[in-house]
């Protein structure tokens, strides 16, 4: 692909750090990134694409799941299927990043499954961030192995740095040296299991008196009642909460103050929050799911809880002093080197460059993408 080709990104949220990091190297190489955030904007964006331009689809939720009715979702699916075939016939390359097994808030599951199968048939490269993605989606769609390209989620090392120290960060929250600060950061949504974390932290506090537990919650409450969440917060447990969007300038303060970041997700395929925590050398607790064990199980800064019994399992970890043992920052270095923002962005630029070749009449054999994996 020659330099200066257009890359249409959907959905393109200007403040999304993942999208901004991914585009760094391709932009430097001369590619023009344009975006769309609604279904109608996307269709107009398709019209502007030319041969060897790229359409890169990320999160699929706005396409079918945010349709006003089921009939509208059915219509959109048919429109998209025709549009993707037309793009291929015109010589446009299509990349799909698999962020989730399925959208977390899903109204039309059967249509989304069908859409995944349409994507698998029509795109030219399937970007996955976990090597176990195909297995995790096997009951939904059989991803074409020849199309899969593994590029890990980038870290955010260097993006939020302001020179703040952990000591100053802890003092800003009035955290004492004998307090164990447990953090959840990110949007607070039903599938993320924050209610289970609250119950687990309370249980852990009741089981140990050696050091006081402090639960820190930072993030906007979505798809659930903010009032009911506030009402559920226990008075017996010290809480530090900011139930709203966390400005970029304040992300570092929360993560540096925490002893441990817990992400008690009920469902997860990829999590940028894990990479965000690692960027500040904050140890992480994750559910013990097969694809997460494959991806993170060997990392010395990751602990896994039993998703079948999240409250008891997380509570056991929080009550165990060893969970708060100091993890040397050097233990994060191999992971952060593998997922450095420029490194991952450069691999993404190579993926775009590798989308070369001539389309057949139906676009089915457009391009040839050389295998691109995670480099040591």
pLDDT score for 35 = 96
Q: What mean pLDDT comes out for the span 236-257?
A: 95
pLDDT score for 256 = 97
Is 168 a residue whose pLDDT tops 70?
yes
Helix (H, G, I), strand (E, B), or coil: what is residue 339? coil
pLDDT score for 207 = 82
Nearest C-alpha neighbor of 338 from the set 147, 131, 32: 131
Cα dist. 366→33, 92, 115, 326, 362 in Å? 21, 8, 20, 51, 9
Is 376 a residue whose pLDDT tops 70?
no
What pTM was estimated for this model as a whole? 0.89
pLDDT score for 209 = 63
Q: Per-residue pLDDT tens for 194-239?
A: 999 999 999 999 887 656 899 999 999 998 889 989 988 999 999 9
Higher pLDDT, 376 or 294: 294
pLDDT score for 210 = 54
**Average pLDDT of the chain, as a whole number:** 91
Q: What mean pLDDT comes out for the span 240-255?
A: 95
The answer to whether the CB of 194 falls within 8 A of the CB of 239 is no
Alpha-carbon 184 to chain mean position: 15
Is 361 a residue whose pLDDT tops 50?
no
Tell me the sheet residues that pair with 8: 34, 55
Helix (H, G, I), strand (E, B), or coil: what is residue 303? strand
Dihedral over alpha carbons 149, 153, 266, 121 (to 10 degrees): -20
pLDDT score for 360 = 34
């Amino acid at each position: 692909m020659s330099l200066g080709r257009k890359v249409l990104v959907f959905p393109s949220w200007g403040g999304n750090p993942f999208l901004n990091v991914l585009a760094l190297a391709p932009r430097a190489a001369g590619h023009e990134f344009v975006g769309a955030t609604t279904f109608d904007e996307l269709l107009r964006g398709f019209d502007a694409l030319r041969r060897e331009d790229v359409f890169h689809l990320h999160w699929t939720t706005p396409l079918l799941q945010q349709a006003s009715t089921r009939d509208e979702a059915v219509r959109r699916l048919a429109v998209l299927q025709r549009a993707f075939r037309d793009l291929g016939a015109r010589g446009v390359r299509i990349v799909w990043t698999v962020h989730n097994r399925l959208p977390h808030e899903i109204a039309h599951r059967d249509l989304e499954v069908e859409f995944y199968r349409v994507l698998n048939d029509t795109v030219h490269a399937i970007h996955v961030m976990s090597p176990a993605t195909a297995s995790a989606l096997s009951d939904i769609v059989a991803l074409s192995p020849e199309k899969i390209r593994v590029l890990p989620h980038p870290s955010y090392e260097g993006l939020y740095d302001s020179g703040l120290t952990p000591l100053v960060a802890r003092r800003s929250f009035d955290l004492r040296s004998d307090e164990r600060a447990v953090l959840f950061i990110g949007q607070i949504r039903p599938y993320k299991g924050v209610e289970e974390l609250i119950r687990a932290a309370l249980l852990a506090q009741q089981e140990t008196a050696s050091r006081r537990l402090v639960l820190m919650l930072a993030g906007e409450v979505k798809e659930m009642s903010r009032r009911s969440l506030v009402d559920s917060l226990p008075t017996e447990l010290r809480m530090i909460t900011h139930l709203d969007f966390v400005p970029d300038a304040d992300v570092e303060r929360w993560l540096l103050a925490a002893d441990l970041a817990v992400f008690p997700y009920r469902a997860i395929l990829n999590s940028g929050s894990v990479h965000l925590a690692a960027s500040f050398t904050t140890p992480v607790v994750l559910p013990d799911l097969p694809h997460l064990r494959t991806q993170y199980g060997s990392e010395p800064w990751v602990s896994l809880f039993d998703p079948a019994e999240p409250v008891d399992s997380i509570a056991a970890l929080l009550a165990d002093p060893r969970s708060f043992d100091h993890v040397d920052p050097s233990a994060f270095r191999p992971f952060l080197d593998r997922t450095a923002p420029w490194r991952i962005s450069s691999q993404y630029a190579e993926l775009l460059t590798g989308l070369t070749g001539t389309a057949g009449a139906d676009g089915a054999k457009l391009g040839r993408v050389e295998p691109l994996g995670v480099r040591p």
